[in-house]
Structure 1
């Protein structure tokens, strides 16, 4: 074991006080049961999350690198007293601090919101006796970065950043009705920022096991980067704003992430007109949107959400008709529907509706004869500076009779998500998923001219 790995192992023990999920479950059960009886609680829930990450920054020009790692162990408590529920979140390292957290949640319930104790999921999962973590691994991250430098970067490109990120989590959900759900996951991705004469182009690629040894195909990101850099270097003309826009997947991905945001239950409950549109044809028939937690091409695979609910395929838009939204238990209850298993949590916040592998379903719509093809997204400060509007700077080519004739200067686009998808003119077949767009997937999208 390397010195770096030893440090991560020691940190992991600090985060979880050296206790396995099964040990934490026994400790927590005793505290939950005793305090619940003494204080007359209607129900208790604890969500324990052990989190570790490793970041490797590669300096491509000098051939050097730096790395950092860290983690945390936090517990979220929900306590139901009377007709109300209270929530508290803290770092916990002992039985005493766990009980302090439960009492803090009870105090919050005094002024909390009304809420029913959730119904149990169909089954609990076995609790492991070993550690929480899926190990971060520096010895895997560095060869991945080396392979990307050799196989992905276009010749002569200046790399501003090449970052490999590993995130590992172990979560344990406990409820006073006996529910116990454990989940352990690990994710790894590489993020690239390459300099061009017209701005920085950004892309990312997931790194499943085997990437460092060459078992994973990096050709898609290699081709995307080569095309993007070629579009942003060399002579260019102003774009003809009377031509329709063809957004290739790298450019379209932030727009689809914006649509996934719009279809979250918490956004919907704050937008009554959107809720009233369920069941109606809100978009063109060529638009269908699905969130599939087990999509083999997707980047997030899971069978239960962080509230213990089974996940399932959700059709959100069906041939233009708005079918429903992504829900946590809370937002589903507010609208009187089933949650569908999309309540996800982070270190300090309660469960919120979150997409897993949200994507636009591919078609094979024909491209127009003449169009502006946008293949390179130039990095900007924020893709959604205003809620509901996606901001893009994108470069590419003018296409006449299906042939690229010249580069176009990058276009600055402000795209209201709802209106943009209502005006969608076509969907391609080249579906791709992107870590840099919250794991959302999209094929090529055809939009009307930016001038009207």
Structure 2
């Protein structure tokens, strides 16, 4: 689809088809799921059963800034996952849904697999809520307006944009438990990622917000302008003896890697890390939270995909390590309580995931002299091996608060835990990044690390 092309509005975008997704009426599908679950629990002697329906819409628009042309893709899908528990085992099955009969079929498949499957924990019974009848409409015209406004606002004059991709998504879920409980959830977001060319490599940054909420583009505009300035013009080698100041765009991959390490499934596979809970693992300047309702975050939800409340979590409190992100399964394996972080991807059981993880801002003072890294140069990988972040970043040498010379990009290989154990300070400029799994961070102040 180009900017000048005409297209027919999809059925789900018409007023008379607003409740449909993937050709299915969501309200009717939710009612059918309750009926199928009731029939299943009457006929099968299970200790528990659940049926999870997920409907999603996605619109992706790529904008060619130089020509003003657009290419567009959109899709809709409905899937179902079932879990059945026996005293001695449990079974799981998932499939795409084309009609109501698939709901009974996925329950039957989970039952059959439960004959040989290992026992998994039965999640607590969730609170009931109204299941969704429809998903928000994703407007192509609105997406085009947003893409044009974004690039006009945040791209400095003369900068070549290699790619500008705007993605709008909406999803709804219905969780039906054998106890007769039905819980619904709807979420929608819009995000944009831009890739800009500089003489020392490409920079990638973006912005995200719940669908319908305005973007705050000024922080993104300022970050791109600073990154371009740092990567264009004469540059010198960095002084390895100076402390490092990682501005948020450079610190974000480090925090995203920390979020991965704080997942309960990682803790299960890493006994030494699990034993560190309760210990003073980091300096007092570091606190980490996961807040699914943070006003700067793009994902807003009050329950996870297992129906458990998703409340704000303090994972690190002034250096003391408090715990992990847990689904019901990982919590049971470590003998702790679930904390509402069990999320599902299509065709898989719930796994623990962050919903809005960030380093808590402080506003600590900067050193007198330091290396300031403001621009992350795009690389193919940020974590070549688990627990180690690799990145290229450019910036400035700063003396007494003044940038005195531009620095050629330096390569950093940062072991996540060891690097954060050396943390000296945390800034006040918190920003969240769709390019870093939605994690947020302020400026991080570190000791000299460029000398190896």
Q: Same fold by TM (over 0.5)?
A: yes
Tell me how far apart the structure 2 counterparts of residues 159 and 441 of structure 1 sit (CA, whole Å): 25
Q: Secondary structure at the match of 1:237?
A: coil
Aligned to 2:304: 305
1:234-383 superposed matches below 5 A: 234-383=233-382
Given that 2:369 and 2:400 are in contact with CA atoms closer than 8 Å, whether structure 1 keeps it comes out as yes
Aligned to 1:18: 24
Tell me how far apart the structure 2 counterparts of residues 217 and 210 of structure 1 sit (CA, whole Å): 13
Q: Secondary structure at the match of 1:413?
A: strand
Residue ranges of structure 1 left out of the alignment (5+ in a row): none
Tell me how far apart the structure 2 counterparts of residues 252 and 332 of structure 1 sit (CA, whole Å): 29
1:122-137 superposed matches below 5 A: 123-128=127-132, 130-131=133-134, 133-137=135-139
Match for 1:192 among 177, 191, 194?
194
Aligned to 1:5: 9
1:174 CA displacement? 0.6
Aligned to 1:99: 104
Aligned to 2:89: 84
1:218-237 superposed matches below 5 A: 218-237=217-236
Tell me how far apart the structure 1 counterparts of residues 23 and 215 of structure 2 sit (CA, whole Å): 37
Tell me how far apart the structure 2 counterparts of residues 298 and 166 of structure 1 sit (CA, whole Å): 15
Aligned-CA RMSD value:
1.8
**TM-score, normalisation: structure 1:** 0.94
Tell me how far apart the structure 1 counterparts of residues 409 and 311 of structure 2 sit (CA, whole Å): 40
Tell me how far apart the structure 2 counterparts of residues 376 and 231 of structure 1 sit (CA, whole Å): 7
1:346 CA displacement? 1.8
C-alpha deviations, 1:274-328, integer Å up to 9, x for none?
1111111011111110111121222211111111011111100011110011001
Tell me how far apart the structure 2 counterparts of residues 222 and 374 of structure 1 sit (CA, whole Å): 17
Aligned to 2:3: none
Q: Secondary structure at the match of 1:356?
A: coil
Given that 2:188 and 2:210 are in contact with CA atoms closer than 8 Å, whether structure 1 keeps it comes out as no
Tell me how far apart the structure 1 counterparts of residues 139 and 67 of structure 2 sit (CA, whole Å): 23
- Over 3 Å counting, the alpha-carbon distance change for 1:158 and 1:210 in structure 2 is same
Aligned to 1:203: 205
Tell me how far apart the structure 2 counterparts of residues 416 and 259 of structure 1 sit (CA, whole Å): 10
1:3 CA displacement? 4.2
Aligned to 2:41: 36
Does residue 447 of structure 1 match 2:449? no
C-alpha deviations, 1:27-65, integer Å up to 9, x for none?
223322323332322211111100110011000111111
1:404 CA displacement? 0.6
**TM-score, normalisation: structure 2:** 0.94
Given that 1:78 and 1:87 are in contact with CA atoms closer than 8 Å, whether structure 2 keeps it comes out as yes
Tell me how far apart the structure 2 counterparts of residues 247 and 345 of structure 1 sit (CA, whole Å): 33
Given that 1:5 and 1:137 are in contact with CA atoms closer than 8 Å, whether structure 2 keeps it comes out as no
C-alpha deviations, 1:164-183, integer Å up to 9, x for none?
10111011111001111111
1:207 CA displacement? 4.6
The 10-residue stretch of structure 1 (168-177 or 102-111) with the greater mean CA deviation from structure 2: 102-111
Tell me how far apart the structure 2 counterparts of residues 173 and 386 of structure 1 sit (CA, whole Å): 36
How many positions carry a matched residue from both structures? Answer: 444
Tell me how far apart the structure 2 counterparts of residues 86 and 15 of structure 1 sit (CA, whole Å): 28
